[in-house]
Amino acid sequence: MSSLENAIALECLARKVKMADDIRDDLDLTRLPTVTDKDQQRGAEYHRALTSLLGVE
């Protein structure tokens, strides 16, 4: 693998790690003063996104 390909692969990995970290933060409903049904629905969407990003079933 060339140094350019290596750099691109590392950048893609870094982007996935950042996205996963952001999604994990968004999943933390304890940061909200009250949790609504809409918050729970959004949490479920974030959970599906994180599962997909990590390749976990």
* pTM as predicted: 0.71
Can you tell me the distance from the alpha carbon of 45 to that of 54, in angstroms, rounded to the nearest whole number? 14
The answer to whether residues 20 and 54 touch, using CB atoms and an 8 Å cutoff, is: yes
Return the H-helix or E-strand segment holding 34: none
| Domain limits, the chain | 3-54
1-57 pLDDT, tens digit each: 889 888 888 888 888 899 999 999 999 999 999 999 999 999 999 999 999 988 875
